[in-house]
Chains A and B, each alone.
Chain A
Amino acid sequence: MSRVQSLATFALLLVVLIVVAFPFYWMVLSSFTPREALFQPPYRFFRLDFSLGNYRELLFATEFVRFFFNSLIAAVGAIVLNVIAATLAGYGLTRFAFAGKKPFAFGTLFSYMFPPMLMAIPLYILFSALQMRNTYTGLILAHMAISLPLNIWLMWQYFQIVPLSLEEAAWTSGASRLAALRQVCLPSARPGVLSVAIFSFALSWNDFTFAFILQTDRHMFTLPVGLASFVEQTGVHWGMVMAAAVLVSVPTFLLVFFLQRYLLSGLRATG
């Protein structure tokens, strides 16, 4: 490659990097900018007057902590149920031949393309009738609707690369099928299970649509719904809102930088 070409490539890359990175930079910078300075143009692209005022206000003067716990409970519930259901289904789909297998796999894949609105409206009516709106159970079930299809598919793919010979060896040495599953198959499938846990968490944590429609009581708001309510009023306190945005993104940052290889395996299949 000639010098001019590599310089041009470098310049283009710089532009793309700025486009990708600047919103993050501005979010973090604004969250640490004192309230008075934030609304006084011209804005500076670098500043040193860092302040934790926005974070203090967010944590002590709003319901942020309550929203956080609601989000956390929904995510943990979704992780536990998803891991159990998806691991079992993945094992069943790869290890046994049965009549409804192809339709099952097809239905699973098809259902992760369902429009959330198509499920949210009937769930709203059903949960209203069953008194399950504004409950954790209802929200966890709704979050399973978005994550379980993907997770079954992930585990199904994963068990296909866990060699059957390992289990067969255990059987011949007298282990029962269940013992072989627990002691041989599951340990080798651990990265798959971890991917399922990560995706269940991310999809539940990121969900706005279901929580927005099902959780109408402010005490039951999750973080995305609670944060959206911060900008409904006039005179939005943008510094505090950016502090909230930063805190909500922290798990995403951790996942991306520490667990990327698990994420990549399922990326193709998320909405």
Chain B
Amino acid sequence: MKSRTEHHAWVLGTTAPALLFLAVVAYLPIAYAVALSFFKKTAFNPAMKWVGLDNYRFVLEEPELWSAFGRSIVFTLGSVGLQLALGLAAALLLNRAFAGLNVIRSLFVLPYLLPSIVVALVFQWLLSQEYGVINQVLMQTGAVSRPINFFGGLSTAMWSVVGMAGWQYGSFATLLILARLQAISPKLYEAAAVSGAGPLRAFWDVTLPALRTTLLVIALLRGIWMFNKFDSIWLVTHGGPLKATETLPLYAYRLAFEEFDFGLAAAACSVMFMVLLVGAVVYFKLFDPTREIEVGR
């Protein structure tokens, strides 16, 4: 490097565009949202009126927020649990039967990368009460006597959404777990076999410990993302029936765009943000993903 000025010019020139974009599209809006949560602002009245913590007081005393919060927890735990279970099962099977078979592996990546709208439409069609093929199979095999209203039934809607999310995002878990499984040295299994361990014992003593970090990363990241999930749920239920699937992001959406109270919506979003913050702090503390690496990825 020739001079300090040149160094500064390079640092500024390379990072400024990214910083500028991030500031305009991410940091500024979020700062604005946090500020907004202290004001009374509705869609019909452009004036902002300082109300201090009133929005928070209102939102936190609102039973609707807490039921939405509860539903978010149910949806997050349910769908992340399902993703881990499906991902682990699929990865163990794939690792055994078809290590390296590309077509099959591609098929397992697909759901995760599909637009949510596609998954939502296909599941609505598969699970349709009148014309759904799943209901037809259930009726023909005699498993049910009447077609199930999967996304429209009070008791079934949440579990149907959880199932759909498990199907779509389970493939994320499959991929990460499969990659980790293939990195376990076969020698460890040989050693386990020599010392007389059966397949279950080997799974418990060799496979699971090797997967611990991977499973934790998946649970944390997916937990954060599922807690904030808007599109998948909105597209199949709009939060219904009777708010049975109205999680926090859908509640915030309703406050902003159906009740037109942006201040309240911002306060609800900030509550969401606090939860996210806890998850993110745990993730950064445990894994420090910002540390630099030397070679390989």
Contacts and interface: CB of A to CB of B under 8 A. Distances in A.
Contacts of A19: 167
A77 interface: no
B160 interface: no
Contacts of B25: 119, 123, 141-142, 144-145, 148
B269 A228 contact: no
Nearest to B251: A117
B290 A209 contact: no
A123 B221 CA distance: 25
Name, among A92, A113, A117, the residue most crowded by chain B CB atoms within 10 Å (CB to CB): A117
B18 interface: yes
Interface of A: 5, 9-10, 12-13, 16-17, 19-21, 23-24, 26-27, 30, 38-39, 41-43, 81, 84-86, 88-89, 91-96, 98, 102, 104-111, 113-119, 121-126, 141-142, 144-145, 148-149, 152, 157, 160-161, 177, 202, 205-206, 208-209, 212-213, 223-224, 227-228, 231, 238, 241-242, 244-245, 248-249, 252-253, 255-257, 260, 263-265, 267-268, 271
Interface of A: prevailing SS: helix
B290 A96 contact: no
24 contacts: A20-B107, A23-B126, A24-B110, A24-B122, A42-B136, A94-B292, A109-B289, A114-B276, A115-B276, A116-B228, A117-B269, A121-B269, A123-B29, A141-B25, A148-B22, A152-B18, A208-B117, A208-B231, A213-B253, A223-B117, A244-B121, A245-B117, A248-B117, A248-B118
A95 B102 CA distance: 36
B66 interface: no
Contacts of A238: 125, 128, 131
B214 to A, nearest CB: 10
Given A208-B115, A213-B253, A263-B113, 11 more contacts: A13-B97, A42-B136, A110-B284, A117-B249, A119-B30, A126-B28, A144-B25, A148-B22, A160-B293, A208-B116, A231-B121
A125 B262 contact: yes
Contact of B297 (A21, A118, A161): A161
Contacts, number: 265
Contacts of A95: 10
Contacts of A160: 292-294
B209 interface: no
B191 interface: no
A245 B121 CA distance: 7
B145 interface: no
Contacts of A213: 253, 257
Interface of B: prevailing SS: helix
A155 B15 CA distance: 12
Interface string B125-156: 11010010100100010000000000000000
B280 A113 contact: yes
Interface in B207-250: 217, 221, 224-225, 227-228, 230-231, 234-235, 249
B100 interface: no
A88 B18 contact: yes
Contacts of A27: 118, 122, 125
Name, among B266, B294, B297, the residue most crowded by chain A CB atoms within 10 Å (CB to CB): B297
B185 interface: no
Contacts of B253: 117, 213
B33 A121 contact: yes
B176 to A, nearest CB: 7
Contacts of B104: 17
Contact of A113 (B29, B111, B124, B276): B276
B256 A121 contact: yes
Contacts of A121: 33, 252, 256, 262, 265-266, 269
Interface in B51-109: 89-90, 93-94, 96-98, 102, 104-109
Contacts of B38: none
Contacts of B183: none
B24 A141 contact: yes
A260 B112 CA distance: 13
A10 B7 CA distance: 60
